[in-house]
Structure 1
């Protein structure tokens, strides 16, 4: 096992990463293994692998809401066109809830 920065090379190359995740070599450089992307996922589709990098445990559950990219302050997961639309929808829905509750 070798290491790169704070990550061990136990990162499984075959694991599917969330939409907008950087290619593995760059994800390893950017990701701090904070787990914010896992915590914010509303459908529990993500976990961290042995190297501390996000991967899908249930890709079919992913709604492409963009919350994982939105919370990733280090740039390991970026918004795609699809997840940007999903994030906009999330924010609209949140605004609608505020109006209903008011």
Structure 2
């Protein structure tokens, strides 16, 4: 059996508006999404991160069970920040501004 069948190469990414990090990891086959996030060490660089509880995704798609989903070679795990503002509320506010502007014209 060759070495490539025993390990996978993945990236774990986290971004703030002013600071981003991508960590490349070599992990054993069978590693889960959550385990990769925990292995990344990004919680040492971003103290607000609780890698045992944050929402995670792979290539922009949220993972509902990161403790169970196994990664494939080349996957990119993404660590999501909690939403500060409800996106629906932002859209409502934006629409209200546009409506007010049109009414003023």
The two structures have a TM-score, normalised by structure 1, of 0.31
Give 1 or 2: higher strand fraction: 2
* Structure in which a larger fraction of residues adopt helix: 1
Q: TM-score scaled by structure 2?
A: 0.30
